[in-house]
Amino acid sequence: MAELPGQVTEHEGHGQDSTRNSCNAVDKLKDSVRLWFNQQNGQTLQGALAFVPFVLQKAYYEGQLQETDIVIHRGSGGVVFSDASGFTALTEKLAQKSNGAELLSQCLTSFFTPLIDLINAYRGDTIKFSGDALTIYFPSIDDTKCTAYNGIVPPHGSYGQPDLGPMATSVLRASACCIEIHKRLHEFETGVDGVRLCLHIGVGCGEITILQVGGVVPPETHVPRMEYLISGEPLEQISVAEPLAKNGQTCLSPQAWDLVKDCVIEGETLAERPEYHLLARMDESKYTFPTIKYATQLYDNRLNSMFKLEHLDVIRRYIPSAVFKQIECGTLQYVNEMRNISVIFINGSGLDVMSKEGPRKAQDLMSSVQRACYAHEGTLNKFLIDDKGMLFLLVFGLPPLVHPDDPTRAVLCAMEIVQVFRRLDLVGKFGVTTGRSYCGVCGSAKRMEYTVLGDCVNLSARLMANAQPLGILCDEETSKRTSGEISYKALAPIHVKGKANAISIFKPMLKESAEPVGLTVERKLQFPWYDRPMDGMDCSGGKEAVQQSKAKVMQLCSVNRWAGIVKVMEMLGGNFNKALHQQQQTIPTTAPRQKAPQGSPFGEGGIVVLEGDVGVGKVELAEHIVTHCATQFQMMPIFGTMGPRPGESSRMAVELLRSTVAVFRHLNAAIPTDDVQALVQVVPPQLAGCVPMLGELLGGQEVARDNTQIFETAIKVVISLLTMLKKQTPVLVVLQFEHGTSLFAKTTQEDQKIFWKMTSDLAHLVRKEKSIAGLILCRRAEEDNVAVIHAKEANSFLRLQGLTEDNIWEYMSNYLGVPEQAIPPELRRFVPQVTLGNALYIRETLDQLMRDGHLRIKPGTSVSLAAGSLDRIDIAAWNHTQMVGGTVCQLESLDPIEAAALKMSTCFEGAFTLPDLAASSCSQWGGATHFDLLRLYRATQKLMNLGFISMVDAPVTSPRGHSTVEHTEQPEEGPVGGTQYYQMQNVLVRTVGGAMVLEAQKKSVKRNALIDRVLKQDLPDRMTTLAKKKSVQHIPWYYEQAFRRAAVRSSLPP
C-alpha cells in the first residue's frame, strides 16, 4: 500500500532507491488516487524547498549528494555574514505575552521576507541561519557561458563597462545587496514597545567548500539526519569584518575590497584595521541596483536544478523530522511557540575542514555528537562555522522529544560530548542553560530554517565563551532543575554581554555513588534505587532516601487486597511483615534459615518477572522480596541495573561484580574490603587474565576496549562466581531495566539487547543451579526471551497495573496516616479518576493537594478539604510531577495528525465519531477526500492503541451538550459497516490534552461537529426533494401567462 503523507511507515530504504520504489508504487495507482497523492506531495515539496539552499540542489544534479559524500561542493565567490541586533530584546518582551510566539513569528516573517527577497534577487544563496544571523553565498559563475547570455547585457548589467570577471561580479552583487538591505531594513520598526532591528554585515571572498556530515538516524524517525556547512578562507575574513561593522554598516575584507574598490564608494576609515573597508554606497556613475539585479536575474538558471517531487526523500534528510511532518500535514504554522528548553552551545577548535583529513574528521565529530545527542533524545539544531568558529547548537525539549528531565539530559549529553572532543584531540567549550525561548521557523516562504531564539540561547553562548577548554558551565536555572545524578560546584559570578548584573555559574559533576549496592561492609542491605533515580526523577540519596523507600514499601505492600502483594506473598509464604522495613536490615552470618513454600522459585530456583510502568509498584515489591529472602531464607542478593540513561552496561557490570564480591566478603571475613583485591582473591584461576581489565573498570578508570567486550567479560566472571557461591549459600540475582522518561524504543534498543542477553544467561544458570533464583524488573518484557518464557511457565510472571478503587482508598489511608473511613467522598472519587491507580501518581496528587492547601491532614484522625470543588483544580499546571509532566511528554511525541485528533477528542464529553473529528480537520463539505479521512482514521487507531481513547457503544442520544440529534442504539450501517463511536475515558489525558486547546478552538470543534451531524441528517431529504423538484420541467411565469393568453385567443371565434 502506498504511504500516506503525514503517516510514513518505518522502512530501511533511503535515498534514490526508496524514491524509485515509491514512484513505481504510485504509478500503479488509479488516476484519481495518483492525483491526490501528487497534490499532497506537491504541497509538501513547496514547503520543504524553503529549507534547503540552492547549492545542495545543484550538488544533487551533479551527483555529489549521496549519503556517503562529505564534500558536496567546491567553488569560489563572495560570502556575507549578516547579524541582526534587537531580536533578543524583542524575544524577551514577547515571551511574557500569551500570544508572544504568534507576534514574534509575524515580526520575523515581516523582517526576513524582504531581506531574503533581496538576497535572491542578487543570486545570493542563504546557506545557514545562525539564530538571527545569516550566512549567504554569492557563487562565482561565468555568466558569459550561460545559454541565456546574449552578448548585449554584461553580467554586471552596465553597458560600456568592462566585464569584471566571475569573482569580482559575485562580490559586486554581494556589495550591492548589502547596501540595498541597509536602505530597506535599517532601523526596522517591529511595532513592539519601540524595539527596532538593525543589521551589521561582513563580506569576504575566496575559495569555499561545502560539506555534508552526520547521517545518524534520530530516535523519532527512520530518516538519517544530515547537516551541511560552509567553510573556507572567506569565513575567516568575515569573522574579522563583521565585528568591525556597526549597526547599519557593511565591512569588506581586503580581498573583497580589491575586487570592487573601483565600483563602490568607501565609507569612513577604520583606524583599528585600516586594511578592512566600510561600504558607503555604490558608484552609481558606473553601476546601479536595477541594472545589477536585471543582469543577475536574466542569467539566473537555478530554477532548472531544483528538487522535484521524486526527491522528497532526499530533501527530508536536511529538515528536522517534526518540521517535515508539519509540512506534510499543512500545519507548519503550529511549530512556532514559546516553550521551556535546555540549550547546549559548543565552540570547537583544532579542526581545519579545508585540510586533507579535515572533512573526514568533521564527519567523525558530527556523527559522534549526533549519537550522543540522540542517545539522550535531544535535537541537534545547528552545526556551522561562523564568526565565532565551529559551533554546535543542541536543544532539549523540542517536540516530539520533550521530557520532564530535559535539563539533566542536556548536562549529561554535554559531559559525553566532552569525551568525544577529547578522543579526537579537539578543544571544546560548553555552555548549558535552561529557560523559555522562541522555537519555530525563521525566514520567509522562500527560505527558512527551524531555530531557537531568546535570552536563554544567548546566555548559553556567553557561558560557552567563558568556559575553560573541555569545560562546561551551567546557569542557575539548569542547576536547580537537574536530578540527583549531577552535583554542582558554584563558581564566581561573571559579567556577560547583555546582562547588567553578574551571572551565577556552576560547574557540573557526575554524582559519585555514596554506597555500593548489595551487602555493605556493615552487612546491611543497600538497594540501587537508594542512591540513583531509576525513573529519571530526583533522588536525595543517603539516609533520607532509605527512609523514604522503606516508607513506600510499607504503605503500598500493606494494601492487603492488592493483587501484586498477594501474588508475591504466595511465593514467599505468610503475610506481609512491616517489621522487615522499619529500618535498614542487617543480615547476620549465622541465623536459622526458613524454607520457602513448596514450588516457590525462591525455594527451588526459578525466575520471577515484574513487568509494569514506572510507579505501579515494581520497586516496592522487589525491595520486599529481597529483604524477605535475605532475612528469612538467607538468600544473598546480587544486583545489576541499567537505565534510565543510555550506554550504562558498564554500570550494570560494576554492580554485578561488586555485589557478588560482597557476598563472598559476607561469608568470609578474610576477604579484603577493597573490591579489586577481593576479586583477585575469589576469581577462579582460569579467569585470572580478566582481572586487570575488570580492576580498571571497578576503579572507575577509562578502559580502552569495546563496551560490549567489557560487559561480556564481566558477565562470564560473574556467572563463574555464582556457580561457586551456590555451594555456600542460596543467591537471588536482581536485574532491572528502566526506560526512565525516554519516549522512543530506538533510544534504548542497544541497551535492551545487552540486558535481555544477561537475563537469558541467568535463566540458563537457574535451570542448572536450583539454589539460584532470578528477579527481573522491566517496563515491557521481551516475550521470546527464555527467562520470560520460564517465568510464565512457572506462573511467576506478574504484569502490574494500576490499583483498583478499593486498593486506592486503602493506599491513600496508609500514605496519609489516617483511617480509611476518614477520607472524604470527593477525594475518594477525584484521586482514582486522575491517577489511573498508579501509586506514584497517587502520592504526587496527594502531595500537591496538600502543598496547594486543598487538603489538610490531622495525623491519625481526619482529612479535610478546602472549600471548592476538586474538579476545578488546574491539574495541567502540575507539569513538574511525573504524572502530568510525563503525560505532556507523551502527547508531545505524537505525530501532527495524531496530536490534532487527540486535542479534538478532549472537546467531547461523551461519545464521538470519526466524522465529528473530520468536521474540523478534513470535512467532506470542504473538499476533503476519503484518503484524508483514512489518515484521520489511522490516527484514531493509534490513539486507541496507546489507551488515550476507547471504542464505546453507540449512545441513545448524542453526547450531552453537543447536539440534540437522536441516535439509535445500534450503529447505522454504511457501505463498509457500522459507525464506530469513541470516547476519551482517560481523565488524566483529557485534562492535560484539553489544556493545550484554546476555548475558541473547543467551541469551533463542537460547532463544526454539530453542523456536520445536522447536515448529514437533514441534507439527504432536502437533496431528494430538490432533485424531484428539478426533475419537473420548469416554465417561467411570463411564459405561462403568454401561453394562457394564446390559449384564450385561440378559443375565441374568428
Query: pLDDT per residue over 862-906, tens digit each?
Result: 888 887 778 888 888 888 888 998 898 989 889 889 998 999 999
DSSP summary character for residue 770:
T
- Close Cβ partners of 535 (under 8 Å, ≥ 6 residues apart): 614, 615, 644, 738, 740, 741, 840, 882
CA distance 761 to 766: 9
Q: Among 43-47, 258-262, 430-434, 584-588, which is the least confidently predicted range? A: 584-588
- The answer to whether 933 and 366 have CB atoms below 8 angstroms apart is no
- Backbone dihedral angles phi then psi of residue 196, each to the nearest 5 degrees: -120, 150
d(CA 57, CA 651): 46
Q: Of the segments 104-113, 196-205, 382-391, 668-677, which one has the largest average pLDDT value? A: 196-205
Q: Please say if the pLDDT value at position 9 is more than 50.
A: no
Centre a 10 Å sphere on the Cβ of residue 1046 and count the other Cβ atoms it contains.
Answer: 10
In contact, 897 and 931? CB cutoff 8 Å: no
SS3 689: helix
Side-chain-side CA neighbours of 994 within 13 Å: the count stands at: 18
> pLDDT > 70: what percent of the chain?
92
- How far apart CA 388 and CA 994 sit, in angstroms, is 44
Residues in the chain: 1054
Q: Does 317 have pLDDT greater than 70?
A: yes
Identify the residue whose cell numbers are 525455594: 603
CA 727 to chain centre: 50
Dist. CA 239–CA 599, nearest whole Å:
75
Q: Single out the residue of 800, 855, 858, 860 nearest to residue 828, CA to CA.
A: 855
| Residues whose CB is less than 8 angstroms from the CB of residue 611 and which lie 6 or more positions away in sequence, other chains included | 618, 778, 779, 780, 781, 797, 798, 799, 800
Q: Which helix (H) or strand (E) holds 708?
A: helix 707-725
999 pLDDT more than 90: no
Confidence band of 966 (pLDDT split at 50, 70, 90) = very low
DSSP codes, 207-276: EEEEEEEEEEPPTT-SSPEEEEEEEEHHHHHHHHHHHH--TT-EEE-HHHHHHHTTTEEEEEE-SS-TTS
C-alpha cell at 773: 533464583
Q: Is 11 helix (H, G, I), strand (E, B) or coil?
A: coil
Report d(CA 460, CA 482) in Å as an integer.
Answer: 16
Strand partners, 225: 216
Residue 970 has pLDDT above 50, yes or no: no
pLDDT-above-90 percentage for the chain:
51
Rounded to 5°, the CA angle 442-446-450 comes to: 25
What φ, ψ does residue 177 adopt, rounded to 5°? -60, -45
**Residue 264: its pLDDT value, please?**
94
Q: Who has greater pLDDT, 405 or 21?
A: 405
Instruction: For the beta carbon of residue 712, count every other beta carbon within 10 angstroms.
Output: 17
Question: Which pLDDT band, with edges at 50, 70 and 90, does 602 fall under?
Answer: very high
Q: Are strands 427-443 and 448-453 parallel, antiparallel or unpaired?
A: antiparallel
Q: Model-level pTM greater than 0.95?
A: no
Question: Looking at this protein, which amino acid is placed at residue 454?
Answer: G
CA distance 13 to 879: 39
pLDDT in tens, 627-660: 999 999 999 999 999 888 887 788 888 899 999 9
Distance in angstroms (rounded) separating the CA atoms of residues 153 and 538: 70
Sequence-ordered strand ranges (E) for 333-466: 337-349, 379-386, 389-396, 427-443, 448-453
Within 8 A by CB and 6+ apart from 680, the residues are 688, 691, 695
Of 149-153, 525-529, 795-799, 966-970, the poorest mean pLDDT is in 966-970
Cα 122 to its chain centre, rounded Å, is 38
Residue 630: helix, strand or coil by DSSP?
helix
CB 191 within 8 A of CB 183: no
CA–CA separation, 903 and 997 (whole Å): 6
pLDDT at 297 over 50: yes
Mean pLDDT of 810-826: 93
The whole-number pLDDT of residue 5 equals 43
pLDDT (tens digit per residue) in 513-563:
656 889 988 889 999 888 876 654 455 556 788 888 999 999 999 998 899
DSSP tag of 154: -
Q: Which amino acid is at 983?
A: Q
Is the pLDDT score of 80 beyond 50?
Answer: yes
pLDDT at 615 over 50: yes
Nearest C-alpha neighbor of 368 from the set 339, 385, 392: 392
Q: What pLDDT is stored for residue 960 in this prediction?
A: 42
pLDDT score at 172: 96
Please state, as a whole number, how many other Cβ atoms lie within 10 Å of the Cβ of residue 500.
5
Query: In this predicted structure, which of 56-60, 250-254, 287-291, 389-393 has the lowest mean pLDDT?
Result: 389-393
Residue 263 · residue 215 · CB < 8 Å: no
pLDDT of residue 381: 92
**pLDDT of res. 968:** 40
Least confident range of 497-511, 643-657, 946-960, 985-999: 946-960
More confident residue, 273 or 35: 273
Position 961 pLDDT exceeds 80: no
User: Taking the chain, what is the end-to-end CA distance rounded to the nearest angstrom?
Assistant: 80
C-alpha cell recorded at residue 732: 537471588
**Distance, CA of 699 to CA of 683 (rounded, Å):** 17
pLDDT on residue 33? 77
Number of Cβ within a 10 Å radius of residue 788? 22
pLDDT number for residue 75: 94
More confident residue, 589 or 23: 589
Query: How many Cα atoms are found within 13 Å in the side-chain-facing hemisphere of 661?
Result: 30
State the cell numbers at 339.
Answer: 516553550
pLDDT at 13: 45
Please report the DSSP string for 782-797 in residue order. -TT-HHHHHHHHTT-E
What the block records as the C-alpha cell of 779 is 517496563
The CA distance from 898 to 586, in Å, is 52
Query: How high is the pLDDT of residue 742?
Result: 86
pLDDT of amino acid 926: 73
> Considering only CA atoms, which of 222, 177, 188, 179 is closest in space to residue 13?
222
Summarised one tens digit per residue, pLDDT across range 699-754 is 766 654 566 788 888 899 999 999 999 888 999 999 999 888 888 888 888 889 99
CA 729 to chain centre: 47
Helix (H, G, I), strand (E, B) or coil at 22: helix
Q: Do 198 and 188 touch, CB atoms closer than 8 A?
A: yes
| Cell reading at 679 | 576479586
pLDDT above 80 (res 609)? yes
CA–CA dist 678, 102 (Å, integer) = 64
pLDDT(358) > 80: yes
pLDDT band for position 11 (cuts 50, 70, 90): very low
Continuous H helices in 558-648:
563-572, 601-604, 618-632
Average pLDDT over residues 686-699: 85
| pLDDT at residue 97 in the model | 77
Residues 6+ apart with CB under 8 A from 812: 820, 823, 827, 828, 831, 842, 846
CA–CA separation, 744 and 219 (whole Å): 6
pLDDT, position 702: 61
Return the higher-pLDDT residue of 8 and 777.
777
**Position with higher pLDDT, 837 vs 996:** 837
What's the pLDDT at 134?
Answer: 92
Question: Mean pLDDT throughout 27-40?
Answer: 76
The span from the CA of 245 to the CA of 9, in Å, is 50
Report yes or no: 315 and 307 within 8 Å, Cβ to Cβ.
Answer: yes
Amino acid residing at 17:
D
Given its phi and psi angles, is residue 518 left (phi above 0), alpha (psi -120 to 50 degrees) or beta? left
Q: Mean of the per-residue pLDDT values for the chain?
A: 87
Query: How far is residue 478's CA from residue 499's CA, in Å, rounded to a whole number?
Result: 18
Specify the amino acid at residue 1051: S
Q: Confidence class of residue 250 from pLDDT cuts 50, 70 and 90? A: very high
> Which of 475-479, 913-917, 992-996 tops mean pLDDT?
475-479
- Which burial class, exposed, middle or buried, applies to 177 when counting CB atoms under 10 A from its CB (0-12, 13-18, 19+)? buried
Q: Taking the CB of residue 429, how many other CB atoms lie within 10 A of it? A: 23
Q: What is the pLDDT of residue 962?
A: 44
For residue 277, pLDDT beyond 60: yes
Question: 939 with 949: CB under 8 angstroms?
Answer: no
